[in-house]
Chains A and B, each alone.
Chain A
Amino acid sequence: MIEIRMHGRGGQGTVVASKVLADAAFKDGKYAQSFPQYGVERRGAPVTAFTRIADSEKDLIVRSFIYEPDHVVVLDPTLLSTQNILEGLKKGGWVVINTPEAPDSFDIPSDYKVATVDAASIAVKWRLGTKTQPIVNTAILGAFSKVTGIVSLQALEKAILENAPVKQEENVNAAKEAFESVKIRS
């Protein structure tokens, strides 16, 4: 069982990202579950969403929140200074951050692996959301797919095509571009 926690802000598509990730895992032949933490998401407010991925339904997936994720995804880098996004993160887990900064520039313990991707610029380029409020969810999933290998890019593309309410092709292109441009801490 792999458990992933996503941190974002209302309007970035965090809850949809958790669902697209679950759907991509399902399309890869696995069993998956995704859910938002609170359900009262408001634009700009912190949002947390979760995805569980298991080999099969027989793995007895629980229905509680995820307290000790294997990996975390950060859609808004400003959350790094306001929330403990590393809380409960298992050693060796990935921290995938949407930021133009290099992965070495973050003060994250060496227990964790760090990847960064400029998902905001990619989203703006593909006209996802607005320049001031880009929708970065599909781009960051492309980066997540590349560094973790948990879901294939092909499955992710299919999941995006099915789940993105608008601009499906642009969202797929954003994911692909992030897949190619994600940077890993050395």
Chain B
Amino acid sequence: MSFKKVLTGNHAVSYGATSARVQVISAYPITPQTTIVELLSEIVAEGKLDAIFVNVESEHSAMSACIGASAAGARAFTATSAQGLALMHEMLHWAAGARLPIVMANVNRAMAPPWSIWTEQNDSLSQRDTGWMQFYVESNQEAYDYVILAYKVAEKVLLPAMLVLDAFVLSHTSEPVEIYDQDKVDEFLPPYEPKYAIEPGKPISYGALSKPDTYMEFRYKIQRSMEEAVKVIEEETAKFNEMFGRNYGIVEPYMMDDADYVIVSSGAMTSTVRAAVHEMREEGKKVGLLKMKTFRPFPFEKVREYLSGRKKVAVLDRNISFGHHGIFYEEIKSAMYSVEPRVPIHGYILGLGGRDVTKQDIKEIYDDLIKREEISEIIWKGVKL
């Protein structure tokens, strides 16, 4: 039977990996991720999950071990944060290029220096072009659910997937999470059956040399799979919603029906935005929220569908592409380029390095947005100058 339990976001991920019946876990500890694999190691040691836990000396090796395991046909899992993810970078390309459906939890943590252990999206967004799918979760329930969903989608399109949760704001926050009946999870996510697997006595080669006459086609196929993933995510999310009573989507609208103004958000701060939008609606303000659940593949069509015809849009970015703007801002502006009449889109940078984002901040951003006449591509909210 399913049951509800008060869990941290990290432990929700551990439960998610357990429900997904991962077979190989390889990880290196890093704050604030550590408690994900700490609990998993206990679950494996107690014999509650039939998996091999591989201790390694670095994140680069953790991803390498996952690549080996996945190439051998196992469902492989890891988790990391910030510098750990950066150290994996080379192998992230490898996992996607070899078409291995590995799932990883990345706990968003600001990059050093200066040292920080608090939330910011630059670590995961820096991996934008590695060929990994990326899902940004808002609650501990979503953290649990998206481990399961990520495997389902990854194994269908043969690309790795990263679920991303905020340091501390989710990772170390406790709240009720529903853990599903194992039979139902098994029904949704059957065992991984690899198309190709390395087996003794049946040698195949992964990642061999590809000359200029073939390499481009491999890239083309990754792109086609990413495009296909949009549809697969929508289909699988719909099935998941039906089976488990959720209301997920590739993007998630809130109070958008007649909204003149839209605030676009991602990750844990979305809960605070939702509460602010709800209160502003009660004050008669025609404002809505669009939550960006999926970053790769980028949900162009849904973004156009929800943002076309609005008076103004504010995109919130807990990240920055130095020398450019907020990363979600740039992606959304690019998606909206072909839309006429043009929708004015403004970019707000906030909450870097774990700086608190409050309901009041969101209301101030709304007040700022409706007053702006010129498009502002980068507005720093709350920076001390």
Q: Which residues of A contact B (CB under 8 A)?
A: 18-19, 22-23, 26, 31-36, 38-40, 57, 60-65, 67
Contact = CB atoms under 8 A, between A and B. Distances in A.
Contacts of A34: 173-175
B356 A64 contact: yes
Contact of B172 (A36, A57, A60, A61): A36
Interface string B158-172: 000000000111101
Given A23-B174, A34-B173, A35-B173, A40 B117 contact: yes
Contacts, number: 68
Interface residues of B, number: 26
Interface string B250-286: 0000000000000000001101101100100000000
A56 to B, nearest CB: 11
A63 B271 contact: yes
A113 to B, nearest CB: 27
Contacts of A61: 175, 271, 275
Interface in B347-385: 356-359
A19 B174 contact: yes
Contacts of B357: 63-64
Contact of B6 (A32, A36, A62): A32
Contact of B169 (A22, A32, A38, A63): A63
B297 interface: no
Contact of B359 (A32, A36, A64): A64
B119 to A, nearest CB: 10
A36 B10 CA distance: 14
27 contacts: A18-B174, A19-B6, A22-B6, A22-B174, A22-B175, A23-B6, A32-B174, A33-B174, A33-B175, A35-B168, A35-B169, A35-B173, A35-B174, A39-B118, A40-B117, A57-B176, A61-B271, A62-B275, A62-B358, A62-B359, A63-B170, A63-B268, A63-B272, A63-B357, A64-B357, A64-B359, A67-B358
Residue among B6, B167, B173, B274 with the highest chain A CB neighbour number at 10 A: B6
B6 A35 contact: no
A58 to B, nearest CB: 10
B271 A39 contact: no
A64 B272 contact: yes
Residue among A36, A39, A40 with the highest chain B CB neighbour number at 10 A: A39
A39 B356 contact: no
Given A35-B168, A60-B275, A65 B174 contact: no
Residue among B175, B176, B275 with the highest chain A CB neighbour number at 10 A: B175
A32 B271 contact: no
Contact of B272 (A31, A35, A38, A62): A62
Chain A to chain B: the 6 pairs with minimum beta-carbon distance, closest first: A35-B173, A60-B275, A62-B272, A64-B358, A23-B6, A33-B175
A39 B275 contact: no
B32 interface: yes
Residue among B4, B117, B176 with the highest chain A CB neighbour number at 10 A: B176
B225 to A, nearest CB: 34
A32 B173 contact: no
A64 to B, nearest CB: 4
Given A61-B175, A62-B359, A63-B173, 7 more contacts: A26-B6, A32-B175, A32-B176, A33-B173, A33-B174, A35-B169, A60-B278
Contacts of A36: 168, 172
B31 interface: yes
A39 B278 CA distance: 30
A28 to B, nearest CB: 12
Contacts of B271: 60-63
Nearest to B272: A62
A111 to B, nearest CB: 24
A64 B6 CA distance: 19
Nearest to A60: B275
A88 B278 CA distance: 24
A65 B361 CA distance: 13
Nearest to B118: A39
Contacts of A31: 175-176
Nearest to A18: B174
A36 to B, nearest CB: 6
Contacts of A57: 176
B268 A26 contact: no
A60 B138 CA distance: 12
B284 to A, nearest CB: 18
Interface string B225-240: 0000000000000000
Contacts of B6: 19, 22-23, 26, 32
